[in-house]
Amino acid sequence: MVLRDLICDAAVAGLALPHSPYWYGVSVGGLLATGAHGSSLWGKGSAVHEYVVGMRIVTPAPVSQGFAVVREPGADHPDLDAAKVSLGVLGVVSQVTLQLQPIFKRSVTFLARDDSDLAAQVALWGDLHEFGDMTWLSRLGKVIYREDNRVDVSSPSDGLNGYLGFRSFPTLGLIIARVAEEHVEESNDMARCLAAGENLLRSSCPWDPRNRSLFFYNTGFNVELSKAPALVADMQRLRDLNPRALCSLDAKMGVLIRYVGASSAYLGKTEDSVNFDFTYYRSYTQGRPWLCASMASSRKYGAVPQWGKNRNFAFDGAIAKYAKSDEFLKVKERYDPDRVFSSEWSDHVLGIDGSPNIVQKGCAIEGLCICSHDSHCAPEQGYYCRPGKVYAEARVCSFRPTSRRDHNDEI
């Protein structure tokens, strides 16, 4: 079942799932496995798994048990804290029981302000509005604050949140936009980067792989609420050093900032957190650098990667930041001792065997490693492994200008 169907079926019964990720085309099993969330610190917070009160999971078993065992951890069973954010390594989730609420509407107001006090506001906004979030347009020095609160279902108006990034567009327009974007990236002409702006595929989603249209990375990480202001201040300092360095983030609708409450799930957030969501250019050509990408300083603040939105280097050592990861691995061993639902990749991510890093030529450009040598970047294209400008302990692929037109794009 996909999230859209769950929301619609619940509404028919006069009920609502209070929180969800911003796109309803994901499966319920998938969004739970990766800890998907909306934005809130109120009540149980915005993670969908916090509203799970029961699950049915089919796990492997020996032939004497018919090759499978059906397990049904309920609300009071400790295994539920492993199962509700499982990365898919425990078994097949066949049923989920969610605690729904009486249906309600939401009142939404968008406020555009300058970002001079963003570092202070990021610590406060989540407590002011039940579903509040922010979109930071760093190059423009603007923040779009979303005042989003629950109202009674009888309130007038029936608006629809038609988020621009998830709409279908004419396919030809998407292809033309991609051509313009590639020109901007390849020419380093960042001064123009903000100006560039089904039915037999006459229309499609921006990420549809059947068309050579928009192609991008979407990366997310979470920082404890108390540390978020300092991280934002560091990002602003980077922006001030080179105002054009982060502009491709603005071209992809900015940095989305959301709130996630602390969770009892073994692989959930250990404290109230702020989620930073970046969408940025990706080349179709392997090994070609992308401009304006920037997450290295997040390590300074103990950030943890969003399970469903990241690349190899971000997962290296991440499992150690989850205080109850050992408890999760014990449940995993009981549910799937023969590792039927495990893979080399999941073993790397969970710290069982090996590392998610793949160290080779150009690995840092592709997000496969953190650079320690120039060859991990793209020296032939002017990118070298250097300390970060704001967080000197970081190692990033930094562009070294060869003319006054070129610029540096590191964090």
Judged by DSSP in three states, 168 sits in: coil
Residue 192, pLDDT > 90, answer no
Decide: 376 and 361 in contact? Cβ < 8 Å.
yes
pLDDT at 44: 96
What domains sit in the chain, N to C, each tagged with a CATH number?
3-102 (3.30.465.10)
Q: What is the mean pLDDT of residues 75-104?
A: 97
Looking at residue 403, what is its pLDDT? 54
Question: ∠ CA(192), CA(195), CA(196), 5° rounding?
Answer: 85
Mean of pLDDT values over 113-134: 97
Q: Which of 165-179, 364-378, 388-402 has the highest mean pLDDT?
A: 364-378
What the block records as the tokens of 113 is 């302000």
pLDDT of residue 214: 65
Count of positions (residues) in the chain? 411
Identify which has the larger pLDDT, 409 or 40: 40
Please report, for residues 182, 289, 291, the alpha-carbon distance to residue 179 in angstroms, rounded to integers and kept in the order given. 5, 16, 16
DSSP class per residue in 185-254: HHHT-GGGTTT---GGGTEE-TT-TTSS---EEEEEEEEEGGGHHHHHHHHHHHHHH-TTTTHHHHHTT-
**In the structure encoding, which two tokens stand for residue 269, read together?**
């957030």
Tokens coding 402: 């060869």
Q: Using alpha carbons only, how large is the chain's radius of gyration in Å?
A: 22
- If DSSP codes are grouped into helix, strand and coil, which group holds residue 112? strand
The answer, yes or no, to whether residue 185 has pLDDT greater than 80, is: no
| Residue owning tokens 């804290």 | 81
Long-range CB pairs of 203-211 (<8 Å, 24+ gap) are 203/168, 203/169, 203/170, 203/171, 204/168, 204/169, 204/171, 204/174, 205/166, 205/167, 205/168, 205/169, 206/165, 206/169, 206/174, 208/171, 211/171, 211/174, 211/175
H-helix or E-strand spanning residue 95: strand 92-98
pTM of the model: 0.85
> What is the spatial distance between Cα 27 and Cα 3, in angstroms, rounded to a whole number?
6
Q: Please, which pLDDT band fits residue 225 given cuts at 50, 70 and 90?
A: very high
- Cβ proximity of 134 and 257 under 8 Å: yes
Contact of 161 with 108, CB cutoff 8 Å: yes
Sole residue written with tokens 């290295």: 296
Is 195's pLDDT higher than 90? no
**Is a pLDDT exceeding 70 seen at residue 251?**
no
| pLDDT of res. 391 | 85
Average pLDDT on 279-295 reads: 62
The rounded percent of the chain whose pLDDT value lies above 70 is 78
pLDDT on residue 322: 95
